[in-house]
């Protein structure tokens, strides 16, 4: 992924823009990484319908 398109808000992270490295780093925690989460705008759009 292009770092400019990365949805993660931690811009100074060394894994910013590298979804594979981020997934590997967070694998033990079981939490979703930023690129796997729903974006708020999309979620709001579907709630209005």
How far CA 3 is from CA of 16, 21, 26, in Å, comes to 6, 13, 18
**How many folded domains does the chain comprise?**
1
For residue range 11-28, list pLDDT tens digits in order: 898 988 888 898 899 888
Answer whether 0.85 is exceeded by the pTM: no
Q: Which structural domain range is residue 8 located in?
A: 3-48
Query: Residues 35, 11, 34, CA angle at the centre, nearest 5°?
Result: 15
Identify the pLDDT of residue 11: 87
């Amino acid at each position: 992924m292009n770092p400019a398109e990365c949805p993660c808000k931690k811009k100074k992270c060394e894994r910013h823009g590298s979804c594979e490295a981020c997934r590997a780093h967070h694998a033990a925690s079981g939490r979703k990484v930023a690129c796997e989460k729903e974006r708020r705008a999309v979620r709001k759009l579907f709630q209005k319908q």
